[in-house]
């Protein structure tokens, strides 16, 4: 059996005004480990001293690993310097990159231990924790106020993220470069809370983190971290993430899930549409914006034959519906989807389109006579969006009424006007309550608030309705023109009616 090649290991040394400590720190790299290092990247973040010269001097000494020394002409910040280093590691084809500080606070002697768990395939990241061994941080010179702040913040972050790390604030880290390439680290802050954001990204992506104990070194180096601002920033990051997974805010540094997480019976618009479909006879369904096909799968189980359309192909979607077509609805319905459908479903779709009237009209043309369309839209006149506008705090969220991908906003009145202009009669128009369960879980508080929301929605749907769900049918009225029956919509689509064909 052929042995796999050894991973290409890189050391990223971030340095700022580290002239007096940089070479001493690099000298501590174990000699028997140096031959395993593919490349050392020393990134001087626009220091005011001779850090760059010190790095160059060390790199040119005999027997040193290949070393690249770079100096930024503008200070990128602690996070910005790491971004540049990780991009360089990926560009150079490294497999593992270890973050080492040029001020000597973290032990280069433990570099072999830092990379070993990744080499063994046990995790995607290794953190050197100063808190794993009780009392070692204080013995190593960590000031009491920093130790206490570290413990408090770590406990708070673990509680909010559901993690169990012994330390969130160590700057000694090793990463799998392929894992880093899957994370949007380029969107992270340039400040000192970069390290917290990357932890959140790793946890959000389901990646594994392993900790090893490391000694604490505190000397006479200058600390450039504003402790109070740092504490505020890391708490803000974790809270921003918690809100983001509930749909609030945009949080650019956390990727949005591609697939719609449909849950049967959750009171959402898709669940309401599914309930309506249960009361209708099985038929051919065109599911616009089908996502991963979870909704289509429910329809198929009811006896419907579903043709899904979406602009991205989520893995598994073709297994969940009878047919799937990859198409951008901004360009209209794909001709290959066919015609003669009994039902067209557009759950939370038309608000994402710049010209929803066009797609609605095309959907009417692919329905059989007497067919039905079921669609849902968020209610922009809901109290949540009204309040955001009224207090001058209007902004977009990751999902919901103010989803950042929405191009059109609808109220109940504007929805009626839009569908009628597209050639539909409204058979039924209902509203859903606010999804408190998505924010609060399935506890008693969510149940009470959900019940109150549904009651208020029945009383005043324009203010308390979270989404509007419509059951439509193409306008089927006919008129008589010179003895033949013609669909009214055909007349409306004509630019003029010839004088010899005027109805009698």
Per residue in 157-179, pLDDT tens? Answer: 999 999 999 999 999 999 999 99
Q: How far is CA 374 from CA 82, 360, 364, in A?
A: 49, 11, 11
Q: Is the pLDDT assigned to residue 156 strictly greater than 60?
A: yes
Q: Which of 127-141, 277-291, 328-342 is the least confident region?
A: 127-141
Tell me the pLDDT band of 223, cut-offs 50, 70 and 90.
low
**pLDDT given at position 1:** 44
pTM: 0.78
Q: Average pLDDT, whole number, for the chain? A: 90
256 versus 205: which is more confidently predicted?
Answer: 205
Please report the DSSP string for 344-387 in residue order.
EEEET-GGG-S-HHHHHHHHHHHEEEEEEEEEEEEBTTSHHHHH
Name which of 46-60, 184-198, 431-445, 478-492 the model is least confident about.
478-492
Residues with Cβ < 8 Å from 491, sequence gap 6 or more?
Answer: 479, 481, 497
Q: Is the pLDDT of residue 234 over 90?
A: yes
Whole-angstrom distance, CA of residue 228 vs CA of residue 149: 10
> Looking at residues 51-66, what average pLDDT do you find?
94
Place 458 in a pLDDT band, splitting at 50, 70 and 90.
very high
For the segment 84-88, the average pLDDT, to the nearest whole number, is: 97
64-68, 132-136, 266-270: which is most confident? 64-68
At 435 the pLDDT is 85
At 92-106, the pLDDT tens digits run: 999 999 999 999 989
Q: What is the pLDDT of residue 499?
A: 39
CB 309 within 8 A of CB 290: yes
Query: Which residue would you say has higher pLDDT here, 476 or 192?
Result: 192
Q: Once rounded to an integer, what is the mean pLDDT over residues 244-267?
A: 76
With a cut of 80, say whether residue 112 has pLDDT above it: yes
Higher-pLDDT residue of 5, 243: 243
Quick one: pLDDT band at residue 440, thresholds 50, 70, 90?
Answer: confident
Confidence of residue 263 (pLDDT cuts 50, 70, 90): low
The pLDDT value given to residue 194: 96
Name the residue among 360, 309, 387, 383 with its Cα closest to residue 474: 360
Tokens representing 80? 């910005």
pLDDT digits (tens, 9 = 90+) for 314-363: 999 999 999 999 999 999 999 999 999 999 999 999 999 999 999 999 99
Tell me the residue ranges of DSSP E strands in 291-334. 305-310, 323-326
Residue 182 has pLDDT above 70, yes or no: yes
Q: Is 157 left (phi over 0), alpha (psi -120 to 50) or beta?
A: alpha
Provide the pLDDT for residue 76: 96
Query: In the predicted model, is pLDDT for residue 32 greater than 60?
Result: yes
Contact 340, 446 (CB under 8 A): no
Averaged pLDDT for residues 286-291: 95
Predicted confidence band at 266 (pLDDT cuts at 50, 70, 90)?
A: low
Residue 157 CB-half CA count within 13 A:
27
Q: Flag whether pLDDT at 268 surpasses 90.
A: no
Q: Taking 50 as the threshold, does the pLDDT of residue 498 lie above it?
A: no
């Amino acid at each position: 059996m052929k042995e796999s090649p050894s991973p290409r290991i890189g050391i990223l040394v971030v340095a700022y005004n580290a002239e007096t400590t940089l070479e001493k720190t690099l000298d501590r790299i174990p000699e028997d480990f140096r031959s395993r290092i593919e490349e050392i990247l020393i990134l001087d973040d626009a220091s005011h001293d001779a850090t760059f010269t010190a790095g160059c001097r060390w790199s040119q000494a005999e027997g040193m690993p290949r070393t690249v020394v770079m100096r930024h002409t503008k200070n990128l910040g602690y996070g910005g310097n790491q971004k540049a280093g990780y991009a360089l590691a990926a560009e150079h084809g490294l497999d593992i990159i270890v973050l080492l500080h040029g001020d000597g606070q973290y032990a280069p002697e433990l570099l072999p231990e830092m990379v070993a768990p990744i080499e063994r395939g046990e995790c995607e990241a290794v953190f050197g924790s100063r808190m794993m061994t009780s009392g070692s941080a204080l013995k190593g010179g960590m000031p009491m106020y920093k130790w206490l702040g570290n413990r408090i913040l770590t406990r708070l972050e673990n509680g909010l993220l559901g993690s169990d790390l012994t330390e969130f604030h160590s700057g000694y880290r090793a990463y799998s470069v392929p894992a880093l390439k899957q994370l949007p680290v380029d969107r992270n802050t340039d400040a000192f809370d970069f390290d917290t954001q990357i932890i959140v990204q790793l946890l959000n992506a389901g990646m594994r983190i392993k900790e090893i104990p490391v000694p604490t070194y505190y000397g006479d180096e200058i600390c450039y971290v504003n402790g109070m601002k740092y504490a505020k920033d890391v708490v803000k990051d974790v809270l921003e993430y918690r809100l983001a997974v509930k749909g609030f805010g945009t949080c650019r540094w956390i990727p949005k899930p591609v697939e719609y997480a449909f849950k049967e019976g959750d009171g959402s618009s898709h669940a309401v549409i599914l309930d309506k479909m249960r009361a209708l006879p099985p038929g051919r369904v065109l599911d616009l914006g089908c996502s991963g096909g979870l909704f289509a799968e429910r329809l198929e189980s009811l006896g419907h034959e579903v043709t899904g359309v979406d602009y991205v192909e989520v893995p598994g979607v073709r297994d969940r519906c009878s047919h799937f077509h990859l198409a951008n609805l901004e360009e209209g319905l794909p001709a290959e989807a066919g015609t003669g459908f009994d039902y067209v479903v557009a759950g939370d779709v038309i608000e994402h389109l710049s010209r929803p009237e066009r797609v609605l009209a095309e959907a009417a043309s692919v329905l059989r006579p007497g067919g039905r369309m079921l669609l849902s839209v968020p209610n922009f006149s809901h109290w949540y969006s009204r309040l955001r506008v009224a207090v001058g705090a209007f902004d977009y969220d990751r999902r919901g009424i103010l989803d950042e991908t929405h191009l059109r906003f609808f109220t109940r009145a504007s929805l009626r006007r839009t569908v009628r202009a597209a050639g539909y009669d409204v058979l039924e128009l209902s509203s859903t309550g606010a999804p408190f369960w998505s924010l609060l879980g399935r506890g008693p508080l969510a149940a009470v608030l959900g019940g109150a929301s549904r009651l208020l929605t029945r009383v005043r749907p324009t203010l308390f309705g979270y989404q509007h769900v419509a059951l439509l049918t193409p306008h089927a009225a006919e008129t008589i023109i010179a003895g033949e029956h013609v669909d009214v919509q055909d007349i409306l689509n004509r630019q003029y009616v010839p004088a010899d064909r005027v109805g009698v």
